[in-house]
Amino acid sequence: MKIITKNIWILSLVSLFTDVASEMLYPIMPVYLKTIGFSIVLIGVLEGFAEATAGLSKGYFGNLSDNKRKRLPFIQAGYSFSAISKPMMALFSYPLWIFFSRTMDRLGKGIRTGARDALLSDEATPQTKGRVFGFHRSMDTLGAVIGPLLALVYLIYYPNDYKTLFIVAFFPGIIAIAFTFFIKEKKKEVPIQKAKIGLLDFIKYWKESPAIYRKLVGALLVFTLFNSSDVFLLLKIKEAGFNDTTVIGIYIFYNMVYALLSYPLGILADRIGMRKIFTSGLIFFVTVYLGMAYAENKVVFMALFFIYGIYAAATEGIAKAWITNICKKENTATAIGTYTAFQSIATMLASSLAGVIWFSFGASATFIITGIMVFGVTIYIAQIKN
């Protein structure tokens, strides 16, 4: 049996090109927003609103995808929204327009996430979920390596020309959309349900879901609550006295490790179990955060970000593969959508919590508290049966 099917390849290439577009803009987004008059507070409000939109839409559209028994229309619409939003941010600098464009990008992610992951799950068996999601995650993260590199090269020759970069980012997005038209969705024999789907109906799935789903996702959400934005890790490097090029270089290095190891660790997860690989990844996470509390030199930072890449490869795709293995096939998009919706909310709270701890007690306290709390989550997840 062919494990990495044509649909998996295409979906992975779609994610790769979409991530190239997004990650080209990731390093310069805050700088660009400042140049057009956004304050730090307004940037925070913008990102918070955009993430809230993504969170709610992931749950709603995941549920809708299961209800309609269709995946492809949601995938195509989601990636189209994200691609179109890139050049829109360069056309006008009015705050309301920027809010609309940025929200459109995150809405696109919300529309496609549940349906895309459900289609990946449909292409796999319970015995191959780890490698399928690992392969997709590997290709997706490869885009996070290529994107910042392209942005760095462009800005060397055209410094401060941020608007043009937003337009350039449109082209890999268009390539991603084109690839979606080669996806072949299997026809479902289950009749289409006609019931209307409410915006928050996906929350009902939490009560109806298997007990193991609630245990696993509950633990994952507690973990997310203490897993603040990677910006805090990069800020630690910056505060240690390193320049912007070094910071971006270490971020690219982390993504390379992440991309290279996601597929091999997915294969290993299929062989020895999702739980073992995932909890091992969390141990790596704890090691990194406790190490960051005391790290000062470049070699230590590189070593910690290498370990951080292993953590990401052992958890990101594995978590979704594990979830799809414990939910009913007809509820896959809803299960993923519900998890990622709550995860978006927890992510917003995590960065706020980390910011408060950092401001009140310093960087070291932020990393130590996070490390201790995640170690507790690791012990709990280690006891969950597959």
User: What is the rounded CA–CA span in Å between residue 143 and residue 258?
Assistant: 11
At 339-354, the pLDDT tens digits run 988 988 888 788 778 8
> If you average pLDDT over residues 111-131, what whole number do you get?
94
With 70 as the cut, is the pLDDT of residue 41 above it? no
> If you average pLDDT over residues 355-369, what whole number do you get?
87
Highest mean pLDDT pick, 43-52, 88-97, 187-196, 370-379: 370-379
Mean pLDDT of the chain: 88
* Distance linking the first and last C-alpha atoms of the chain: 24
Percent of the residues in the chain that have a pLDDT greater than 90, as a whole number: 55
| Nearest residue to 23 via CA among 284, 182, 230 | 230
Give me the numbers of helices (H) and strands (E) for the chain, helices first please.
16, 0
Q: Is the dihedral of CA 88, 47, 215, 210 positive or negative?
A: negative
If pLDDT is split at 50, 70 and 90, which confidence band does 31 have?
Answer: confident
Query: At what angle are helices 363-381 and 231-239 packed, to 10 degrees?
Result: 140
Tokens of 48: 């918070």
If pLDDT is split at 50, 70 and 90, which confidence band does 177 have?
Answer: very high
Contacts of 308 (CB under 8 A, 6+ apart): 233, 254, 257, 284, 285, 288
Which amino acid makes up residue 185?
E
User: What is the rounded CA–CA span in Å between residue 101 and residue 133?
Assistant: 29
Contacts of 363 (CB under 8 A, 6+ apart): 232, 235, 236, 239, 292, 293
Contacts of 344 (CB under 8 A, 6+ apart): 51, 52, 54, 55, 58
Greater confidence, 30 or 286? 286
- pLDDT score at 195: 65
| Nearest residue to 22 via CA among 105, 90, 134, 122 | 105
With 70 as the cut, is the pLDDT of residue 365 above it? yes
Q: Calculate ∠ Cα 44-237-28, nearest 5°.
A: 45
Q: Pseudo-torsion of CA 360, 237, 26, 175, nearest 10°?
A: -140
User: What is the rounded CA–CA span in Å between residue 347 and residue 258?
Assistant: 20
- pLDDT score at 138: 96
With 90 as the cut, is the pLDDT of residue 128 above it? yes
> If you average pLDDT over residues 319-342, what whole number do you get?
92
**Are the C-beta atoms of 324 and 121 separated by less than 8 Å?**
yes
| Nearest residue to 132 via CA among 116, 147, 111, 113 | 116
**Are the C-beta atoms of 233 and 292 separated by less than 8 Å?**
yes
Tokens of 19: 């991530």
If pLDDT is split at 50, 70 and 90, which confidence band does 44 have?
Answer: low
Residue found by looking up tokens 């049996």 in the block: 1
What's the pTM? 0.88
User: What is the rounded CA–CA span in Å between residue 345 and residue 338?
Assistant: 11
- pLDDT score at 190: 56
**Are the C-beta atoms of 324 and 136 separated by less than 8 Å?**
no
> If you average pLDDT over residues 19-47, what whole number do you get?
79
> If you average pLDDT over residues 193-218, what whole number do you get?
83
Q: Which of 96-105, 155-164, 191-200 has the lowest mean pLDDT?
A: 191-200
- pLDDT score at 270: 95
- pLDDT score at 188: 66
If pLDDT is split at 50, 70 and 90, which confidence band does 238 have?
Answer: confident
Residue found by looking up tokens 């529309």 in the block: 111
User: What is the rounded CA–CA span in Å between residue 116 and residue 65?
Assistant: 10
> If you average pLDDT over residues 374-382, what whole number do you get?
96
If pLDDT is split at 50, 70 and 90, which confidence band does 183 have?
Answer: very high
At 77-111, the pLDDT tens digits run 999 999 999 999 888 888 889 889 988 998 999 99
Give 6-184+203-381's CATH code, choosing from 1.20.1250.20, 3.40.50.20, 3.40.50.300, 3.40.50.720: 1.20.1250.20
Percent of the residues in the chain that have a pLDDT greater than 70, as a whole number: 96
> If you average pLDDT over residues 327-347, what whole number do you get?
89
With 80 as the cut, is the pLDDT of residue 34 above it? no
b (16+ CB within 10 A) / e for 222-240? bbbbbbbeeebbbebbeeb
H-run or E-run covering 175: helix 170-180
If pLDDT is split at 50, 70 and 90, which confidence band does 218 have?
Answer: very high
Q: What is the DSSP string of 25-56?
A: HTTTHHHHHHHTT--HHHHHHHHHHHHHHHHH
With 90 as the cut, is the pLDDT of residue 36 above it? no
At 62-77, the pLDDT tens digits run 999 998 889 999 999 9
If pLDDT is split at 50, 70 and 90, which confidence band does 52 have?
Answer: confident
| Rg of the chain, C-alpha, whole Å | 20
If pLDDT is split at 50, 70 and 90, which confidence band does 189 have?
Answer: low
